[in-house]
Amino acid sequence: MVRLSRVNPATPNASASVLAQLFEPIRDDLRAVEREFARHVQSQISVIPAIGNYVKDGGGKRIRPAVLLMAARMAGYTGERAVLYASVVEFIHSATLVHDDIIDEAELRRGRQAAHTRWGNHLTVLFGDFLYLKSMSLALTQDTLDVIRLLCDVTLRIVEGEIYQLTKQGAVDLSEEEHFEIVRRKTAYLFAGCARIGGMLGPTTREQQEALWEYGSNIGMAFQIVDDLLDFTGDEVALGKPVGGDLREGKLTLSVIHLLTQDDGRARALVGKIARDRAVDVDEWRQLRAMLAETRSIEYAQNTALSFVDRAKQALQAFPANDAREALLFLPDYVVSRDR
């Protein structure tokens, strides 16, 4: 059985090299997903492939399609439908990123101009719609209604999550459970859908498919908590976007929510001002970081992410040991150690 080395976050580029090692068995499949994406954004309307290729070439770790491909292998499936459905979820994920950047007025995505910064909001929001519709059109080429229903349900939950988040924007009284509901809908359900679809392609039991849903959901929760933490702990160059962006957009994340539960009034006033003004200066940022350290709120969020990681690993006990399960067991460790 393949044994993967543990990630040491202090080692430069360690997480990237481990991710490459992790995805080595499905490298050719991931390249096929890239080709499918490029092929299906072709159109006689020249701006569509122009935006599509720009989005595709912007990088990204392709973790979601990789989860689907690895889950399919663990379930004993090696046919072409895994690549097709992995392409579908990459279309869905890309559509959410395009729309999120417009809503958040984000200028950068992975160190480059966001698509809407180059092509404007009108064209780019329609391109996001194109990606959503293309994903379902591609899924409908297969006569597998249960998978299509799952994809539709996951996509609806993502959109609901975006709407719900907007209704809570700037709310300094956001509860931890309300925050988790946003994360489940916006991030965790797509991870869960990827894992379950991979299992549905093979000869799995209902219990094993439920276990894959649990695995993906918990990985998605951990992934987003860590992603939010990087807003406070990450390097702007490595992240490819300005730090502090979430709070300046009026989004309260787990460490800030925890800080406010330990607050004597100072943090609430500061967080409320940043969220209201949509701006933070250097002194305010230092004050906020000091408060987070004092209340161990960063550590609280890290420990919460680790608890979701443990649940994800436990779910895979429903499957016998094989190389694909080993890789999926290791993926949560990568998720909590990444620096970008």
Output the pLDDT for position 110. Answer: 77
Output the CA angle 45-46-52, nearest 5 degrees: 105
Output the pLDDT for position 48. Answer: 96
Look at residue 258 and tell me whether its pLDDT is greater than 90. Answer: yes
The whole-number average pLDDT for the span 129-136 is 96
Output the pLDDT for position 242. Answer: 60
pTM for the predicted model, two decimal places: 0.92
Instruction: Report pLDDT digits (tens) over 289-314.
Output: 999 999 999 999 999 999 999 999 99
Output the pLDDT for position 9. Answer: 42
Listed in sequence order, the residues at least 6 apart from 184 whose beta carbon sits closer than 8 Å to its beta carbon are 157, 161, 217, 220, 221
Output the pLDDT for position 165. Answer: 96
The whole-number average pLDDT for the span 133-141 is 94
pLDDT band at 6 (very low <50, low <70, confident <90, very high): very low
Q: For 14-28, 81-95, 160-174, which range has the lowest pLDDT when averaged over its residues? A: 14-28
The dihedral over CA atoms of 284, 176, 165, 271, expressed in degrees to the nearest 10, equals: -10
The whole-number average pLDDT for the span 258-285 is 92
Mean pLDDT (the chain) is: 91
The whole-number average pLDDT for the span 74-89 is 95
Look at residue 1 and tell me whether its pLDDT is greater than 50. Answer: no
Instruction: Report pLDDT digits (tens) over 16-68.
Output: 677 888 889 999 999 999 999 999 999 999 999 999 999 998 877 899 999 99
Output the pLDDT for position 243. Answer: 64
The whole-number average pLDDT for the span 107-111 is 83
Instruction: Report pLDDT digits (tens) over 195-210.
Output: 999 999 999 999 999 9
Look at residue 7 and tell me whether its pLDDT is greater than 50. Answer: no
- Write out 135-168 in H/E/C secondary structure: HHHHHCCCCCHHHHHHHHHHHHHHHHHHHHHHHC
The whole-number average pLDDT for the span 165-190 is 96
Output the pLDDT for position 111. Answer: 80
CATH number for 14-332 (one of 1.10.10.1100, 3.40.50.300, 1.10.600.10, 3.10.310.30): it is: 1.10.600.10
Output the pLDDT for position 2. Answer: 39
Q: For 18-22, 84-88, 181-185, 247-251, which range has the lowest pLDDT when averaged over its residues? A: 18-22
Residue with tokens 């595709």: 56
